[in-house]
Amino acid sequence: MDSTVMVALFLSLAGGLSTCI
C-alpha cells in the first residue's frame, strides 16, 4: 500500500477520534 494512503487514513482516523472527544 502507498505511504500517502496510510498517512491519509491515519489523519482521518485521528481527526475522527479528536472530534468524538
Residue 1 is predicted with a pLDDT of: 66
Q: What is the pLDDT of residues 1-21, one digit of tens each?
A: 689 999 999 999 998 877 776
Residue 8 is predicted with a pLDDT of: 95
C-alpha distances in Å from residue 4, one per residue of 7, 19, 20, 21: 5, 22, 24, 26
DSSP assignment string, the chain: --HHHHHHHHHHHHHHHHHH-
Q: Which residue has the cell 487514513?
A: 9
Q: Is the pTM of this model over 0.75?
A: no
Residue 18 is predicted with a pLDDT of: 78
What DSSP character marks residue 5? H
